[in-house]
């Protein structure tokens, strides 16, 4: 079973640059930020689309050169930023500062409260990253920042376990305070992912396109496959098969129902 969310159905936000302390846009036709919201966030409010399981936020952000999110607060949320293009620089009130590129992830357990910022400091290259918020199993915990620096080939035609559960002795390089896992895959051959009984997943097509196949479809769906394109999301409830159209790049958040 699956529910396909095409890119055209996502809310697209292009906020005023003054919201995060940015200078005015260099080109009036190109906003400093273009963000696609998969769930209710900021000015987008939909009571029927608040979250998916413990996945509260998935924002697909494209940040123009020398722009970013100035210092702002977070608490009681597990926050992961996965970098797709360019370089993202994180800074926070605990003294952490780091710049990471494609395939890398910054992880912050906001716990009892922290201020942080995220910038694209490049003078000429855009930065695209996926920001994910996962609700924690415990609140008001110790604030922590960790990261993983991406490596060439880490997810070539295989599922790379990027983020795992802190309490389950996960081998993933980043660990969060919740029963959830984040996987990435950049593939040119058919891939399979098992969704176990009582589990579910949210799948994002980061780049490219693929055909998604499952064994059982939801009522009123008369096909067993779906073409999934860049920026599309899919809510998945059964094991899936992905057949790329050329090359595809996906991010999958797997969790308890």
Say what the pLDDT of residue 215 is. 59
Q: Rg of the Cα trace of the chain?
A: 18
Q: How far is CA 97 from CA 71, 88, 92, 100, 205, in A?
A: 12, 11, 7, 10, 29
Cβ(225)–Cβ(2) below 8 Å: no
Pairwise CA distance, residues 161 & 198, whole Å:
20
Percent of the chain with pLDDT over 90: 91
- Of 132-141, 151-160, 183-192, 211-220, the poorest mean pLDDT is in 211-220
CB neighbourhood size of 16 (10 A): 12
Q: What is the mean pLDDT of the chain?
A: 94
Residues 196-219: what's their mean pLDDT?
Answer: 87
Which pair of tokens denotes residue 119?
């910038």
Residues 200-204: what's their mean pLDDT?
Answer: 98
Examine the pLDDT at 223 and tell me if it is beyond 70. Answer: no
Q: pLDDT per residue over 106-130, tens digit each? A: 999 999 999 999 999 999 999 999 9
Q: pLDDT per residue over 48-104, tens digit each? A: 999 999 999 999 999 999 999 999 999 999 999 999 999 999 999 999 999 999 999
Decide: pTM greater than 0.85: yes
- Domain annotation for the chain: domains and CATH numbers: 2-256 (2.60.120.10)
Q: pLDDT per residue over 23-46, tens digit each? A: 999 999 999 999 999 999 999 999
Q: Read off φ and ψ for residue 20, nearest 5 degrees.
A: -120, 25
Say what the pLDDT of residue 220 is. 44
């Amino acid at each position: 079973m699956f529910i396909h969310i095409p890119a055209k159905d996502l809310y697209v936000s292009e906020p005023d640059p003054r919201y995060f302390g940015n200078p005015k846009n260099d080109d009036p036709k190109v906003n400093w930020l273009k963000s696609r919201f998969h769930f209710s966030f900021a000015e987008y409010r939909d009571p029927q689309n608040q979250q998916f399981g413990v996945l509260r936020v998935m924002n697909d952000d494209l940040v123009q050169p020398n722009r970013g999110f100035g210092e702002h607060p977070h608490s009681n949320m597990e926050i992961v930023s996965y970098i797709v293009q360019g370089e993202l620089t994180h800074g926070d009130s605990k003294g952490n500062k780091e710049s990471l590129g494609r395939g890398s992830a910054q992880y912050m357990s906001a716990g009892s409260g922290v201020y942080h910022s995220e910038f694209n400091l490049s003078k000429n290259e855009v930065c695209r990253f996926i920001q994910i918020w996962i609700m924690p199993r415990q609140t008001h915990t110790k604030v922590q920042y960790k990261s993983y620096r991406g490596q060439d080939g880490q997810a070539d035609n295989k599922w790379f376990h990027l983020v795992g559960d802190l309490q389950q002795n996960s081998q993933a390089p980043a660990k969060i305070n919740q029963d959830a896992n984040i996987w990435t895959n950049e593939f040119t051959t058919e891939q399979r992912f098992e969704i176990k009984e009582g589990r579910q997943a949210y799948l994002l097509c980061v780049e490219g396109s693929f055909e998604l196949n499952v064994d059982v479809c939801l009522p009123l769906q008369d096909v067993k496959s779906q073409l999934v394109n860049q920026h599309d999301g899919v809510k998945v409830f059964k094991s899936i098969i992905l057949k790329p159209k050329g090359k595809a790049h996906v991010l999958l958040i797997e969790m308890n129902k």
